[in-house]
Structure 1
Amino acid sequence: MWKYVLFIFNLLLAVTVQSDLRFRRQSDINNFIIETFNNCNCVNYYQCDSNNEIVTDGEGLLEPRLKDINEESQNNTRIICKGGKFEGEIVCCKLNDNNRTESIDFKNSTNRISTEKPIHECGAQRTQINVRIIVDKEDNNDIIPIGGEFPWIAAIYEKDNAGKWVFYCSGALIHPKVILTANHYFHRKNAIDYKVVVTGDVELSSIGKDVNNERNIVEIVNHPKFYSGGLYNDGSLLFLDKPFDISKTNSINTICLPPDNLEMDSGSCLTAGWGKGSIIDGVQVLKKVALPLVPRIQCQEQLRQTRLGTKFNLHDSFICAGGEKGKDACRGDGGSPLMCLLPGERRYFHMGIVSWGVGCGDENVPGIYTNVIKIKSWIIEELQKKDINV
């Protein structure tokens, strides 16, 4: 009997600790944003002196006597951080020497702080916090991005039989009036039945919510060598009725195409989408996941261990990423970009298009992406036909 009670107690304790850890992680991210925009550090209120500077010599802290927060009312300019046992326990306070580090590490995370205005060139993020890759290995597979982190990701809507616009798939803005997405969604489809929304926001928008960020599709150009049976050359270009004016907005941008002659089969890249598991508290939000690129031969061998069989041959129009348990794109993420950093830069290029997989998030079973390097010449050719340069 006592063993059973002890087991239940430990289980409840574990759940409580896990919940607390998740809260703390979210609190850390919120405070990181507060610190960045206000040039200060979140500390206990009693570690912040009357000049809103952090106490660094220990004065008054060797035997701290915590006061009621109301006694701090002589300084009403303090910025309140998240966390603490009561409101106002944690405040944002400046360092005495006014110095700040350029980067902050959140457990295997790399975050670059940028206070510059948005750079109007492809692959540049539209957030003051230029987040590289955030991966919390203790807490599952994917994380909600910061608004503007992926300002090129497009939500594509289809008109259903009742005339209602419903979310269909994702794509990426490679030019202010061109979306790159997966062919299998648009094979033998009519442009008039689809609309595109690009906002740079995390929350999935809807048709009619912000007409300034909506576009009609006037033409669908599918890859001429697309094979529906094996999904080879799974790329499609959606030409819009008018361009997004990325020079006047701080929320939308294009993603770069891959550099010429790039050879890359290792490293970590990102994908993000509004697919399976993206609904949180009734709201559909963009979720991202960092994935390792998998060399072609290794990927083919791993896929041969699945239901595809030992004779399966991976077509050269594909690349592979993932293969780590619980970390993958999944149903509903089709058409989303696989994004990698340009060598030596903080800008992203379009490495792959979410195409297909065997299950979702199984260990040693990578996800399959259209290799944008392989179809780049076709993309450029189609754009040049319309006098579009990227």
Structure 2
Amino acid sequence: MLMLVVTAAVLGSAGRPAAAERCGLVASGQPDPFGLMAQLSGNFVPPVPVAPVKRSSASTQSPSPINNPWNVFNRQPTTLDSFNAFQQIMTLLGKRRKRQSGLYEQLTRVRRETEAVKARVRRIVGGYDAIPGQLCWQVKIQIGDVRDETICGGTILGSRTVLIAAHCLYNSETRRRISDRNVIVVVGGMNRDVGEVYGHDTTGCAEPFGIQQSIVHPNYNYDLNDNDIGILILNRPIDLDHKPCACSACLTARTPQVAEWCVVSGYGEESSDGSNDRDPVPLKWTQLQIRHQDYSGSCAFNSFPARGGFGGQRTNLDLFLCAGAQKWEDTCQGDSGGPLICLDPVKKTYYQAGIVSFGDDCGAGTGGQYTRVAAYIPWILANTAGDVTVDL
């Protein structure tokens, strides 16, 4: 059974440790909810990647345009689509990668950016459907309105604090900040529809929250993705003492080691183009291995040619963790901002090591990049007014 080390004898009204002292403890009652504890005994069995089975139109309900705002990109793009997308990309100075050069690589970039024009976000491919309480720190963040909505993930760190990727809070076409009034945080939802007017909460525990303030790291770089971290301050507290579908992940200075296995989660696409999605898409999780960080191409990164306005700059990989690279197990469009969660081997609790930031095609075999949370602890504490504590 999961054991939690309580660092302060602060008890709630029910005689149990207060919410801040129970971080990283799942509410599903599972002794090893993600299979990560087997790493401690050397018995961990890596997931076996399985190629996704294409769903036939006869057996799959087509999502409505409202339910799937990326629906336009699920059809075969025309030459005009690619041309228009390329114009937008060049205007926006969107993501570039060192390996993308020449005509074939340029067309590949156009296709990738066409899929990303509506939102620079990522989602889960492969993995497992979550059960209630298993991912109690995960939230869904609805950005925009019913006519033009995108989705990101986020992580509960305190009763009024949610950690998110900075890029989720920007309009990808205008590069302007999204208004706080157009951001809704949904706690406890078990599928992507929960929180929408047409959604159905099967647990009776899900709850939407508005935000009082959004905070983006002052050194966030939209083009390189450096410092891709933000904070949402909710307009009222989550009842972490009595809400079984909500909990906080631990915040700690620990960083996972290369070859260690961690967990990512989200509500997103189940394939790169969304054609394999169920309706509604469930909250899912998968195990990813931490990889050696470098510019060899085994991990994604953004770069610009020396002749461009950015003078040969590229993503500062010291600010990220690289994870994944096994085929068909990955984050993908829509998981952006969600948590990379690892197991503390001493306390046997779960802490947030990373934030889903960016990567190449979903499940293609290249490691994705996750903002290294431990590097930002002083900034997080300075902007959360005592709502978040560090699990020492």
1:169 maps to 2:171: no
- How far 1:265 sits from its partner (Å)? 3.0
The size of the alignment, in residue pairs, is: 268
Partner of residue 179, structure 2: 190
- For 1:374, what is the secondary structure of its paired residue? helix
Structure 1 CA distance, aligned partners of 2:278 and 2:210?
30
Q: 1:321 to 1:262 in 2, by over 3 A?
A: closer
Alignment of 1:1-390 (within 5 A): 120=19, 121-130=22-31, 131-133=33-35, 136-137=47-48, 139=50, 141-160=126-145, 166=149, 168-187=151-170, 188-199=177-188, 201=190, 204-207=193-196, 213-257=207-251, 259-260=252-253, 262=255, 264-277=257-270, 281-297=278-294, 300-303=295-298, 314-363=316-365, 365-383=366-384, 386-390=385-389
* Matched-pair contact (CA < 8 Å) for 2:299–2:322: no
- Single out whichever of 327-336 and 270-279 deviates more from structure 2: 270-279
Q: 1:146 to 1:301 in 2, by over 3 A?
A: same
Q: 1:216 to 1:268 in 2, by over 3 A?
A: same
Structure 2 CA distance, aligned partners of 1:260 and 1:305?
24
* Matched-pair contact (CA < 8 Å) for 2:265–2:338: yes
- For 2:134, what is the secondary structure of its paired residue? coil
TM-score by length of structure 2 reads 0.61
* Matched-pair contact (CA < 8 Å) for 2:328–2:363: yes
- How far 1:351 sits from its partner (Å)? 0.6
Q: 1:205 to 1:346 in 2, by over 3 A?
A: farther
In structure 2, give the amino acid aligned to 1:369: Y
Partner of residue 308, structure 2: none
| Structure showing the higher strand proportion among its residues | 1
Could you list the runs of 5+ residues in structure 2 that have no partner in the other structure? 3-15, 37-45, 52-125, 171-176, 306-311
1:287-336 deviations in Å (ceiling 9; x for gaps) = 11100001223xx2234899969985643211100011111101111111
TM-score by length of structure 1 reads 0.62
In structure 1, give the amino acid aligned to 2:380: I
| RMSD between superposed Cα atoms in Å | 3.1
* Matched-pair contact (CA < 8 Å) for 2:144–2:182: yes
- For 2:296, what is the secondary structure of its paired residue? helix
- Single out whichever of 337-346 and 277-286 deviates more from structure 2: 277-286
* Matched-pair contact (CA < 8 Å) for 2:159–2:240: yes
Partner of residue 5, structure 1: none
Q: 1:345 to 1:202 in 2, by over 3 A?
A: farther
- How far 1:186 sits from its partner (Å)? 0.9
* Matched-pair contact (CA < 8 Å) for 1:270–1:339: yes
- How far 1:346 sits from its partner (Å)? 3.2
- How far 1:203 sits from its partner (Å)? 6.0
- For 1:296, what is the secondary structure of its paired residue? coil
- For 1:252, what is the secondary structure of its paired residue? coil
Q: 1:214 to 1:127 in 2, by over 3 A?
A: same
Q: 1:233 to 1:308 in 2, by over 3 A?
A: closer
- For 2:383, what is the secondary structure of its paired residue? helix
In structure 1, give the amino acid aligned to 2:379: W
Q: 1:182 to 1:306 in 2, by over 3 A?
A: closer
* Matched-pair contact (CA < 8 Å) for 2:150–2:334: no
* Matched-pair contact (CA < 8 Å) for 2:49–2:326: no
* Matched-pair contact (CA < 8 Å) for 2:322–2:367: yes
1:14-54 deviations in Å (ceiling 9; x for gaps) = xxxxxxxxxxxxxxxxxxxxxxxxxxxxxxxxxxxxxxxxx
- For 2:317, what is the secondary structure of its paired residue? coil
In structure 1, give the amino acid aligned to 2:250: C
Structure 2 CA distance, aligned partners of 1:125 and 1:200?
15
- How far 1:158 sits from its partner (Å)? 2.4
* Matched-pair contact (CA < 8 Å) for 1:183–1:223: yes
Q: 1:212 to 1:357 in 2, by over 3 A?
A: closer
Q: 1:315 to 1:206 in 2, by over 3 A?
A: same
